[in-house]
Amino acid sequence: MNKVVANSEDAIRDVPDGSTIMIGGFGLCGIPENLIRALARKGTKNLTTISNNVGVDGYGMGLLLAAGQIHRHIGSYVGENKLLEQMVLEKKIDLELAPQGTFSERIRAGGAGIPAFFTPTGFGTIVADNKETRDFDGRMYVMEHALKADFAFVKAWKGDKWGNLVYRKTARNFNPMMATAAKITIAEVEYLVEVGEIDPDLVHTPGIYVKRIFQGEQYERRIERKTVRPVVGC
């Protein structure tokens, strides 16, 4: 079993134009920085991206957006992207917004062999337009379909050479579900360790879901909104 690849270029060598790619992260927290940069350099076009946000203008997935590589995006919040808003209003990009819980559950379902499910979220709103609705025990629910992808780019704090992954704090977010829902899941980690070095009880994503893994470099881990309190008075 050899899942380790040399670097981000090698990891995405076979990502063709027109791919559907899931990209982990919430805002800029827990995004696969190396894979996004490599994809921007490779210039892969006509992508469908599935990610909660689209980075910010000029950083993270904002790079792919600015380069015109994304033709369709599925996510839940795009408030940090003036460029995206402009592109949507000018119909240069196809945007599908889903409630965040529905979005994450659709990805979970995609990885878990569940084709669709019913959720109370969005009933009576435009999110439910043209979708099947059903009454269960007197409450109305909307049917939502699973999401799957050709590739998933995920970021973990630590991983072993078999692809067992451990995330750190709120950088976990969408990464674990995305790892399960793609044909080829590529994980970049800050620390790549030998098999057996991670306590099995602490593995968040079992290695079965991960096809390729590498240790990333030059992590910027940019903070979107730095909020601090003064030392004095604490």
Which residues of this chain interact with another protein, rule CB under 8 A? Answer: 26-30, 52, 75-80, 84-85, 88-89, 95, 97, 99-102, 104-105, 107-108, 119-127, 157, 167-177, 204, 221-231, 233-234
C-beta of 12 vs 23, nearer to another protein: 23
For another protein, the closer of residues 183 and 221 by Cβ is 221
Q: Which is nearer to another protein, 5 or 95 (CB)?
A: 95
Smallest separation (angstroms) from another protein to the CB of 88: 6
Residue with Cβ nearer another protein (12 or 142): 142
Positive or negative torsion for Cα 91, 12, 152, 80? negative
Which whole-number Å values give the CA distances from 48 to 24, 94, 152, in the listed order?
Answer: 14, 9, 12
What is the closest distance, in whole angstroms, from the C-beta atom of residue 14 to another protein in the complex?
A: 28
| Nearest distance, CB of residue 210 and another protein, angstroms | 16
Residue 7 CB, shortest distance to another protein, in Å, is 22
Contact partners, residue 129, CB within 8 Å, separation at least 6? none
Nearest residue to 77 via CA among 46, 57, 51: 51
CB of 16 to another protein, least distance (A): 28
SS (H, E, C) 97-138: ECCHHHHHHHHHHHHHCCCEEEECCCCCCHHHCCCCEEEECC
DSSP element (H, E) containing 84: helix 82-89
Close Cβ partners of 50 (under 8 Å, ≥ 6 residues apart)? 20, 21, 22, 23, 73, 74, 75, 107, 147, 149, 178
With respect to another protein, which residue has the nearer C-beta, 6 or 126?
A: 126
